[in-house]
Amino acid sequence: MCGVCGCGGGARSDGKGEDTADHHHHDHGHPHSHPHPHSHPHAHDHSHDRDEVTPTRLLRVEQDILAKNNAHAAANRALFSAAGVFSVNLMSSPGAGKTTLLVRTLADLKGRFPAAVIEGDQQTSLDAERIRATGTPALQVNTGTGCHLDALMVTRAVGRLGLVADSVLFIENVGNLVCPAGFDLGEARRVVVLSTTEGEDKPLKYPNMIAAADLLVVNKVDLLPHLVFDVNRLVDYAHRIKPGLEVIELSAATGLGLDRWYRWLEAGIAVARQNREHEQA
Amino acid sequence: MHELALSQGIVDLVCQQAAADGARRVRRVRIAVGVLSSVEPDAIEFCFDVVSRGTLAEGARLEIARPPGRARCVPCDAVVTVAGRDQPCPLCSERRWVLVGGDDLRVLELEVE
């Protein structure tokens, strides 16, 4: 129905039923414009028959999209296992303290067992330099625009770095709580570092990362007196995602709680060595 | 944007299968992106278009199935559907289950010519 005079579309005032044909034009004072560019249908001389007559066939595939990465990860795992290397994939958001934790760990445990580090960052070799300053071999992998390390990057890094028997290999992933969770690197253990300067709700916001973790490290607990942060709530959230997930609270800056972290590492190193000896026996 | 890497994986897999079948062109690709996978389907779609350029899969229609989260609940000894990793079992309200599906990323089928 015309919104101005009520003609057309509705019941006629004379009661003769629907009026759809008698719409008229109203004069008004402004020109009409097209507010946006648009295309108009056009005539063309080719036919669209090709799509209809070309025979197609269906191929059943049923393959994991990550199969290629998983194959490289399996190869890495075999390599680590044969050398008795305990490999740890460290993941966190940027600034949670992965590198600080590593630097402190390598300094404290120097001489106890051989160690090496693969550092993943989009740019710079700053982290590898920090690690090398402790006397530990480190290789920087720059992912460019990539947001995570993948198994092939680790294969190549290990090729350049070399593996030392019965050692620990730390793989510090790109700071990111999303993407690294999906990529198996062939590591023995995945450690997620969350810090007290982040929100307690991080486990709920990034559930896939927590689900992928074997250990949750809560870093910067020395700052708790200055923060509104409930560690128990963080742990409760993490356990909602992964019941029974092991948690170690520590401060890489002050050393608080590091003894538990070192015991965890030494247990892993011992198991890797035993497995190697068992395989070789 | 790990979706770019994943899309590259999809296109590699698709082209490999299509070439092995002697296909001239891939018309349609059907993949599964589990609801509980850490993957954004819209980003996959965007990246697929970019990555497939100049390959057998260029111009192929991408269909994305979204299988729901499936978990085996320990107390119930039953497989249930879960909406999130923090969600309790809909039968017993406990969060004591192990994920058995819905975090998967798979190429399901291709239509080729």
Among A116, A102, A109, A87, residue whose Cα is nearest residue A184:
A87
Among chain A residues, the shortest Cα distance to B24 is held by A56
Q: Say yes or no for a CB contact (<8 Å) between A179 and B105.
A: no
Q: How do the domains of chain B map onto residue ranges?
A: 2-68+102-112
Range of the domain at A181: 67-274
Residue A27 touches chain B, beta carbons under 8 Å: no
Q: Say yes or no for a CB contact (<8 Å) between B9 and A65.
A: yes
Which value does ipTM take for this structure?
A: 0.87
Q: Say yes or no for a CB contact (<8 Å) between B107 and A65.
A: yes
- Split at pLDDT 50, 70, 90, the class of A54 is confident
Of B5, B84, B99, the CB nearest to A150: B5
pLDDT tens per residue, range A231-262:
999 999 999 999 999 999 999 999 999 999 99
Strands B69-73 and B78-82: antiparallel
Rg of chain B in Å (alpha carbons) = 17
Residue A50 lies in a domain: no
At B73 the three-state DSSP class reads strand
Which residues of B make CB contacts under 8 Å with A? Answer: 1-2, 5-6, 9-10, 12-14, 17-18, 21, 23, 27, 31, 36-39, 84-86, 95-96, 99, 103-113
Question: How many structural domains are present in chain A?
Answer: 1
Residue A24 lies in a domain: no
Q: Options 3.40.50.720, 3.40.50.150, 3.40.109.10, 3.30.2320.50; which CATH number does B2-68+102-112 get?
A: 3.30.2320.50
Return the pLDDT at B64.
97
Residues from chain A that touch B13, judged by Cβ atoms under 8 A, are 61, 63, 65, 67-68
pLDDT tens per residue, range B37-92:
989 999 999 999 999 999 999 999 999 999 999 999 999 999 999 999 999 999 99
Give this prediction's pTM: 0.82
Residue A100 lies in a domain: yes
Residues from chain B that touch A210, judged by Cβ atoms under 8 A, are 85
Contact A264, A251 (CB under 8 A): no
CATH code for the domain in which residue A206 is found: 3.40.50.300
Residue with tokens 């599906």: B101
